[in-house]
C-alpha cells in the first residue's frame, strides 16, 4: 500500500510542473494540490494510520 502511494505521489509531483504549453496557464494550483496531498500523507504516516 505504501509503495503504491509513494509511486502515485512521485508521478503526481512530476505531473504538476508547468512545462507543457497547455499547462502554463494553470499557475500554482496543481503543485498546491500535490503539496497538500503530500502533507496529508506525511501526517498520516507520522500518526501511524498508514
**Could you state, in order of their start, the residue ranges of all structural domains in the chain?**
1-47
How far is the C-alpha of 6 from the C-alpha of 42, rounded, in Å? 11
- Please name the residue that has the C-alpha cell 501511524: 48
Residue whose C-alpha is closest to residue 41's, from 49, 14, 7 = 49
Cell digits for 14? Answer: 512530476
Determine the pLDDT at residue 23. Answer: 67
pLDDT one-digit tens code per residue, 1-50: 777 777 777 777 777 666 667 666 777 677 777 778 878 888 888 888 87
Determine the pLDDT at residue 7. Answer: 79
Whether the pTM exceeds 0.85: the reply is: no
SS3 28: coil
Q: Is the separation of the CB atoms in 38 and 11 below 8 Å?
A: no
Determine the pLDDT at residue 50. Answer: 74
Determine the pLDDT at residue 20. Answer: 65
Residue whose C-alpha is closest to residue 18's, from 8, 31, 7, 9 = 31
Determine the pLDDT at residue 19. Answer: 65
Amino acid at each position: 500500500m505504501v509503495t503504491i502511494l509513494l509511486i502515485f505521489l512521485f508521478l503526481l509531483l512530476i505531473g504538476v510542473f508547468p512545462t507543457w504549453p497547455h499547462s502554463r496557464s494553470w499557475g500554482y494550483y496543481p503543485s498546491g494540490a500535490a503539496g497538500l496531498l503530500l502533507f496529508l500523507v506525511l501526517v498520516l504516516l507520522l500518526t501511524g494510520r498508514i
